[in-house]
Chain A
């Protein structure tokens, strides 16, 4: 049973991690919590629904079309993310710290309502069997193809992002801006361009996470961005907000923690236990598990 709970938790946790990356990257460069990020994740799920029904998918596995849809959805949501930065955040960059937070909350409410009015308020359901609904039994452990796909895709994207940030010149620019915006600017880094890229990468990853969750549970609704966004945000803090590997570790850990809490204690106590552990960890390590000293800038 422990192995099964771990697998369940890891599949869910890898999705939290993908969403958490969006929070942590934006915080890293702007010191801003993008409260509309959960809605971008939700938008990914809804665009997947539209794409699959426009394509007439359903009833049988469709690996090829799904890859195309994933790329398309990621590009579209990245575009929304970019627009959000232009409209809601850039004009407020030199203002007080509170203004962008309110603007982010406003954007979140706007996106939720836009989706509700477009798709209707009731639960929507994605077509079945897009990924084979088979599962493999290893002893007492059931591994579904879908869980493997989710874990595989999430890990692939996370490793890709990590390599991108660590090993390319552009990744170095992101890290430099995260470290100190002014100095980076003096070094000739185009800070605005870097910030735009962060608002492309985060939403794109969030959109793929939305697609994966849509395939996993099939039932989606316009408020799902809030629930998952809150957990992913928590995961980002758990790992040390602003830290990219931290968001990955935080997400996986949160998923496993939730699975164990609901598996061995009770589902009703799941959130209480999860957040209690989170508080304990933050007391011991106020900057999160992998967080470094966050220099307070003036």
Chain B
């Protein structure tokens, strides 16, 4: 063995010996993303991956988590419930400690059973069906809100900001709209406001004057409509032509420019729309920073609030691992249930999670239709 070869061999041995402990210590922490990266909701799944990849790279660049790099493992459920179960199995077999996903409730439901059996922490950023959190899965959480939170916001807004007492509630018998109407009634009752009218209209109808004539007789100060924009537009228009002066308020299914077009600016102006904020309207420093980073990396801003909810799901997992200094799913879940309080989220302060894993508080915002017919944040 000549000299140069000997030196090279020695160098190689030294290198291996030096690298070994580092390689051991750098065993990555695997975190899964399950989402619809193809199929009808592909846009949302793509947003999940982009948001979380961005955050993971930032953490890894600063030395990782507990000194270990984060490794993202993705699984495409193809917007299909059957594939959702397959995707969940795949993530479980790859040894992830926690999963963010999936988008729709129909995708999250089959997956949540598999994650529960495997004992993995599972946070959905966007599935709002009530029953998901009522199965008693101890490691299931959500960073989105159920419709009861929107109802809570609406009740607080009516009694607090508007200082009104007499409310007419109109829904359209759909699961979403009647649920939101019921929750709002509950919170209004608790705040001492009076629900003077409560009934449904039929979606697809055009004439609501009969219902509105009864509303007028009940003399409300506020009309709270929980259905969709086509009926919402007709309702406010017909209410005004019947001489009803009450403030018209509607939920997030009315957050659509068509609402104003159907009602006409004259009738629609002054209407209040309660909805999740659009990403660029979030006032928090965390949100500004995230949106700037996202824009820089991908050349676009996320239009979907669910992309930001996914980012927050990932961030609370990281926070739990950092605080507990453990990657044990049991410890992470316990931390999220008991110890996480008032964490500064991108989508607003995360007050914590209740015993079902549902997020506390609300981030809904009030918007108002201005004189020009634009939907702008409510002032005042």
Contacts and interface: CB of A to CB of B under 8 A. Distances in A.
B211 A137 contact: no
A204 to B, nearest CB: 23
A8 B209 contact: yes
B243 A142 contact: yes
Contact of A129 (B205, B217, B258, B264): B264
Which DSSP category, helix, strand, loop or mixed, fits chain B's interface?
helix
A268 interface: yes
B241 A5 contact: no
Given A219-B230, A219-B234, A8 B262 contact: no
Interface in B186-213: 199-202, 204-211, 213
Contact of B237 (A213, A218, A224): A218
Contacts of B211: 262-263, 267
A12 B207 contact: yes
Contact of A219 (B202, B206, B210): B206
Contacts of B200: 266-268
B82 interface: no
B93 to A, nearest CB: 44
A9 B213 CA distance: 11
Given A1-B213, A219-B262, A258-B210, A267 B234 contact: no
Interface string B227-270: 00010011001001111000000000000001001101111000
B214 interface: yes
Give the interface size bracket for B toward A: 20 to 34
Contacts of B199: 266-267
B173 interface: yes
A224 B204 CA distance: 9
A218 B264 contact: yes
A53 interface: no
Contacts of B262: 123, 125, 218-219
A123 B230 contact: yes
A4 interface: yes
Nearest to B262: A219
Which DSSP category, helix, strand, loop or mixed, fits chain A's interface?
helix
Contacts of B216: 1, 4
B234 A217 contact: yes
Contacts of B237: 218
Nearest to B240: A133
B147 to A, nearest CB: 21
Contacts of B202: 267-268, 270
Which among A9, A129, A267 has the highest number of chain B CB atoms within 10 Å?
Answer: A267
Interface string A110-154: 000000000000010100110001010100001010100000000
Interface in A252-275: 258-260, 262-263, 266-268, 270
B210 A259 contact: yes
A129 to B, nearest CB: 7
A135 B207 CA distance: 17
Contact of A133 (B210, B230, B266): B266
Interface in A267-287: 267-268, 270
A108 to B, nearest CB: 18
Which among A125, A262, A263 has the highest number of chain B CB atoms within 10 Å?
Answer: A262
Contacts of A213: 206
Interface string B42-82: 00000000000000000000000000000000000000000
A232 B199 CA distance: 27
A232 to B, nearest CB: 14
A128 B233 contact: no
19 contacts: A1-B213, A1-B214, A1-B217, A8-B207, A8-B213, A9-B210, A12-B207, A125-B262, A128-B265, A133-B241, A133-B264, A142-B243, A219-B234, A260-B210, A262-B210, A263-B213, A267-B205, A270-B202, A270-B210
Interface of A: 1, 4-5, 8-9, 12, 123, 125, 128-129, 133, 135, 137, 142, 144, 146, 213, 217-219, 224, 227, 258-260, 262-263, 266-268, 270
Given A4-B213, A263-B210, 6 more contacts: A1-B214, A8-B213, A218-B237, A219-B206, A258-B210, A262-B211
Top 9 closest A-B pairs, CB basis?
Answer: A262-B210, A128-B264, A8-B209, A142-B243, A263-B210, A217-B206, A144-B241, A4-B213, A259-B210
Interface of B: 173, 199-202, 204-211, 213-214, 216-217, 230, 233-234, 237, 240-243, 258, 261-262, 264-267
